[in-house]
């Protein structure tokens, strides 16, 4: 079989064909498929990643474990699953800002971020982010990283799925984890946006 790049329509048709075949053979049911889609559309999402980030901001021991073995630390909070077997959280500092891309396709840590946004899958983002991250962040996302801060771009793959531990906003001393989690945006965990400011 040739490995040409397929259009979204072709991919959809192939997925449909596979789904029908598996249902015909009694290996899965329509209900199982619907349930999986529902889980990843409504239940698993960036609010779970935000919970992890808020805990890391509040608990230095947890943060150390998160940076040491992200997948295991997430399990402590009951967060795990498909496409999250080998997650790596990268810590932002004043000197280094991390940003994530998948140059090959759209690898993404589903258990903490949910399904990837459409722009993450676009060829423009995937190629340009590697070449000129500072410009892409400023022009496409309105996110200006200070010149004094180095930007490191990480290429996610099926073996290693990266996401970002952003810096805790100032003025949040004494905040609860629930309050802190409200400040964590999806984009801040991909490295293309800021966390919300404390107000």
- Which stretches of the chain are assigned E, i.e. beta strand? 87-91, 96-101, 150-155, 161-165
Least distance (Å) from Fe ion to the CB of residue 192?
Answer: 16
In the list 11, 21, 96, 105, the residue contacting Fe ion (rule: CB under 5 A) is 105
Q: Is 100 in the site for Fe ion (CB under 5 A)?
A: no
Q: Which is nearer to Fe ion, 64 or 104 (CB)?
A: 104
Q: Which is nearer to Fe ion, 53 or 107 (CB)?
A: 107
Catalytic residue, from 74, 102, 156, 188: name it: 102
Closest CA to 102 of 92, 91, 112, 117: 117
Least distance (Å) from Fe ion to the CB of residue 14?
Answer: 18
Q: Is-catalytic flag, 74?
A: no
Catalytic residue, from 20, 105, 127, 158: name it: 105
Q: Is-catalytic flag, 102?
A: yes
Least distance (Å) from Fe ion to the CB of residue 82?
Answer: 14
Q: Is-catalytic flag, 148?
A: no
Alpha carbon distance 85, 160 (integer Å): 8
Q: Which is nearer to Fe ion, 102 or 181 (CB)?
A: 102
The total number of residues written for the chain in this structure = 199
Residues 84-106: b if buried by 16+ CB within 10 A, e if exposed: beebbbbebeeeebbbbbbeeeb
Residue 41 CB contacts under 8 Å (≥ 6 apart), including other chains:
114, 115
Q: Helices 30-38 and 8-24: crossing angle, nearest 10°?
A: 130
Q: Which is nearer to Fe ion, 104 or 144 (CB)?
A: 104
Q: Is 102 in the site for Fe ion (CB under 5 A)?
A: yes
Stretch that binds Fe ion, among 96-104, 125-133, 178-186, 187-195 (CB under 5 A): 96-104
Asked whether the beta carbons of 108 and 116 are under 8 A apart, the reply is: yes
In the list 54, 100, 101, 107, the residue contacting Fe ion (rule: CB under 5 A) is 107
Beta pairing class for 161-165 and 87-91? parallel
Beta pairing class for 150-155 and 96-101? parallel
Catalytic residue, from 2, 3, 74, 106: name it: 106
Stretch that binds Fe ion, among 23-31, 77-85, 101-109, 175-183 (CB under 5 A): 101-109
Catalytic residues: 102, 105-107
**Positions in the binding site for Fe ion (CB under 5 A):** 102, 104-105, 107
């Amino acid at each position: 079989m040739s490995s040409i790049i397929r259009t979204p329509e072709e991919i959809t048709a192939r997925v449909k064909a596979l789904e029908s075949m598996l249902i015909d053979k009694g290996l899965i049911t329509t209900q199982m498929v619907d349930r999986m889609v529902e889980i990843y559309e409504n239940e698993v999402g960036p609010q779970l990643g935000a919970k992890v980030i808020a805990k890391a901001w509040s608990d230095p021991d947890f943060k150390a474990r998160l940076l040491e073995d992200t997948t295991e630390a997430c399990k402590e909070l009951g967060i795990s699953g498909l496409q999250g077997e080998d997650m790596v959280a990268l810590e932002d500092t004043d000197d280094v800002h991390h940003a994530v891309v998948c140059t090959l396709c759209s690898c993404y840590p589903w258990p903490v971020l949910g399904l990837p946004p459409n722009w993450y899958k676009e060829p423009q983002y995937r190629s340009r982010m590697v070449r000129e991250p500072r410009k892409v962040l400023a022009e496409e996302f309105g996110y200006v990283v200070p010149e004094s801060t180095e930007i490191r771009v990480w290429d996610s793959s099926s073996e290693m799925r990266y996401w970002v531990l952003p810096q805790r906003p100032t003025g949040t001393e004494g905040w609860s984890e629930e309050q802190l989690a409200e400040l964590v945006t999806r984009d801040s965990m991909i490295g293309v946006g800021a966390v919300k400011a404390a107000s």
